[in-house]
Amino acid sequence: MKNKNVSKILTLIVLFSVILGLFPLRQVGAASFDSDIFFNRNSQEQKFEREHKPFSVTIKNLPKGKASFIVYAYAEECGERTILDYSDVVSVNVKNGITKKGYKDGIDYSAVENWAYFEEGENKDADLFLIAPTVDTKDEYNMSMSDEKTKNSFLGALNMERGIYDENTRMFAPYYRQGAMKIYSMTPEEREPYLQYAYADVAEAFEYYLKNENNGRPIVLAGFSQGADMCYRLLKDYFGDEEMQKKLIAAYAIGWPCTKAMVKKFPQIKPAKGETDTGVVISFDCESPKVTETFITPKGMKAYTINPLNWKTDATPADKSENIGACFTDYGANIKSEVKGLCGCYIDKKRGVVKVTDVDADDYPAYVAGLPEGAYHIYDYQFFFRNLQENVGKRVKSYLSTGNK
């Protein structure tokens, strides 16, 4: 390769700088790194590509495991980047050259413009930390914070579900560099680095909220789809602490499974058992009775779920007469149509999904690439909008009367 000696010098600079502490390591079990580098996606083919995409590593010598990753040094030649050489390096960020940060460039969550909702709602007894679902449909891996068009969709998606929560909570919802839709065509292992990258933003925003805005107030966590995934990650990382558990009214993690393995490993993740219990997770994903698997709940997975009409966790069916209002909303938070008694549902106990009755799959197409006909994922909260809205109020009231004891 060209300029191999220069590469060795750069590599030595990186390695010795890590040893000397010039590039501080982020002291967490797993860290995400923002890179603008030549990244080797297929080491056997030795095919080098310049990729604008993140990758994730586990820092050495910490309890959760150890790994290393490859950083490629490069030089500018005639306006183009040329690979010089590469070396195994641990926990060093490279972006247009070597930086002095050992972690992903963060977002300034003290700036209100980095929040879709910031302290919205007055005279509320509880706070909502709401995390947006996937809206980025571009051919990329993570949303850019400078992409105003996608950020408008991001805000619109939050507006579609805000009516479930806004009567009872003061709302906070951060913009974050969410995983784009294309990552869901990957295996769970392949997409995980991009979700870790997204979660690093969510965690940073949540920490800012806790330190500067919470002031001991009770919290509702909520998210749909990717947002639900992010809720579980917050529960794992922040709510193992007893004082934090006492603050949690509930987590509405809709559209992503609350698995048995998750609950076993993280006892602070407690599936809801009824209509008014607190400190719990409300989770479900909707399908036609004919659907047998999706990438959300694949074969072999068993999820904890609750029926959003009768608030039971067994297979007791809920008649459509118990549905007090399906609401189909738009990006402006307007209800375009509302139908009382649209559908009933029951829980498929084998897989832990909600089977929706009384509707035709042809009238409610899946839309999401990779989901089969009859996968009602995008209607998860719309089918049961008024019941969820009522339930948030009941759980807030229950918490305030008992203090999540």
Domain boundary among 89, 123, 153: 89
Higher pLDDT, 89 or 352: 352
> What is the pTM for the complete model shown?
0.77
Domain boundary among 89, 104, 125: 89
71 domain residue, yes or no: yes
Question: Which of 53-62, 85-94, 255-264 holds the top average pLDDT?
Answer: 255-264
- The answer to whether residues 275 and 305 touch, using CB atoms and an 8 Å cutoff, is no
Q: Are residues 74 and 145 in the same domain?
A: no
Q: Are residues 279 and 218 in the same domain?
A: yes
Structure tokens that stand for 81 in this block? 């980047």
Q: Are residues 223 and 263 in the same domain?
A: yes
Q: Are residues 18 and 166 in the same domain?
A: no
User: What domain count does the chain have?
Assistant: 2
The beta-carbon contacts of 368-373 under 8 Å, at least 24 apart in sequence, are 368/181, 368/184, 369/181, 369/184, 369/185, 370/184, 370/185, 370/295, 371/294, 371/295, 371/296, 372/291, 372/294, 373/288
In Å, how far are 1, 48, 58 from 12, measured between CA atoms? 17, 22, 22
104 domain residue, yes or no: no
What is the rounded average pLDDT for all residues in the chain? 79
Q: Are residues 16 and 77 in the same domain?
A: yes
Q: Is 73 helix (H, G, I), strand (E, B) or coil?
A: strand
The amino acid at 226: Q
pLDDT in tens, 95-138: 332 222 233 467 999 999 999 999 999 899 999 999 999 999 99
96 domain residue, yes or no: no
Sign of CA dihedral 160, 164, 167, 172: negative
Q: Are residues 240 and 371 in the same domain?
A: yes
What number is the average pLDDT over the span 340-349?
97
177 domain residue, yes or no: yes
157: Cα separation from own chain's centroid = 14
pLDDT in tens, 314-325: 999 999 999 999
The closest of 58, 120, 395, 142 to 248, measured between CA atoms, is: 395
Domain boundary among 74, 89, 104: 89
Enclosing domain of residue 38: 4-89
Report whether pLDDT(5) > 80. Answer: no
Structure tokens that stand for 127 in this block? 């706070």
**Exposure string (b/e) for 239-261, b if CB count within 10 Å is 16 or more?**
beeeebbbbbbbbbbbbbbbbee
Q: Which residues contact 372 (CB under 8 A, 6 or more apart)?
A: 291, 294, 366
Q: Are residues 215 and 81 in the same domain?
A: no
Q: Are residues 329 and 275 in the same domain?
A: yes
- The answer to whether residues 393 and 385 touch, using CB atoms and an 8 Å cutoff, is no
Q: Are residues 196 and 313 in the same domain?
A: yes
97 domain residue, yes or no: no
Q: Are residues 59 and 134 in the same domain?
A: no
Q: Which residues contact 395 (CB under 8 A, 6 or more apart)?
A: 220, 249, 250, 276, 277, 278
Where residue 35 falls among pLDDT bands split at 50, 70, 90?
very low
Question: Residue written as tokens 């934090």?
Answer: 244
Q: What integer pLDDT is reported at residue 404 of this predicted model?
A: 60
Give the span between the Cα atoms of 292 and 306, in whole angstroms. 19
Give the span between the Cα atoms of 55 and 32, in whole angstroms. 6
98 domain residue, yes or no: no
Structure tokens that stand for 298 in this block? 């694949």
Q: Are residues 127 and 35 in the same domain?
A: no
Higher pLDDT, 128 or 16: 128
Q: Are residues 13 and 160 in the same domain?
A: no
95 domain residue, yes or no: no
- For the chain, what is the radius of gyration of the CA atoms? 23
34 domain residue, yes or no: yes
